Amino acid sequence: MPSVNVHLNNIAGTEAAIGWAGSHTIVADRPAGKAGGLGLGFNGAEMLALAIGGCFCNDLRYVAHSHAVEIAEIDVQVTLFLEGDPIIATSAEMVVTCFTKDGIDAVNIIEEAKLSCMVSNSIAKGVPVSILLSDLRPRDKPLPR
């Protein structure tokens, strides 16, 4: 079964984190003044919305290539709706504009991309998340109780 691994570490001198996968990086932080945040990067809600939209943009390209269609322009806007305490994402809305170079209607490309979009389909199915304690902590320091 295929898998993807990313890694995040704190950024020295800040309370932000840098994440990477291969040679690509992203900074995660809270807004300036919130819980030590400096506004250096995206918060979790922004990253989730970017994952939804970014994955869909990629899938538009995959679908277009499979049909030998060239895309001239993509504009994707994602609104992530949040509520509760602790706050959670309750829904997302994506508005997609897509134009092909030859003027072919992109509706079929958009519809096919909906079916293959890994992020939005995973969220819709309620992908489980496990949070495990690392065994990399110092052996002489027990966990606080």
Domain containing 107 — which CATH number? 3.30.300.20
Per-residue pLDDT averaged across 101-119, rounded? 96
Identify whether residues 87 and 118 lie together within a single domain.
yes
The model carries a pTM of 0.88
pLDDT band at 144 (very low <50, low <70, confident <90, very high): low
Q: Would residue 22 count as lying in a domain? A: yes
The single-letter DSSP state of residue 110 is H
Residue with tokens 């001198």: 13
Q: Which domain holds residue 109?
A: 43-125
pLDDT tens digits for range 49-76: 999 999 999 999 999 999 999 999 999 9
Q: Would residue 140 count as lying in a domain? A: no
Burial of 53 (0-12, 13-18, 19+ CB in 10 A): buried
Burial of 63 (0-12, 13-18, 19+ CB in 10 A): buried
Identify whether residues 89 and 103 lie together within a single domain.
yes
Identify whether residues 12 and 34 lie together within a single domain.
yes
pLDDT band at 138 (very low <50, low <70, confident <90, very high): low
Q: Would residue 29 count as lying in a domain? A: yes
- Asked if 45 contacts 81 with a C-beta cutoff of 8 angstroms, the reply is no
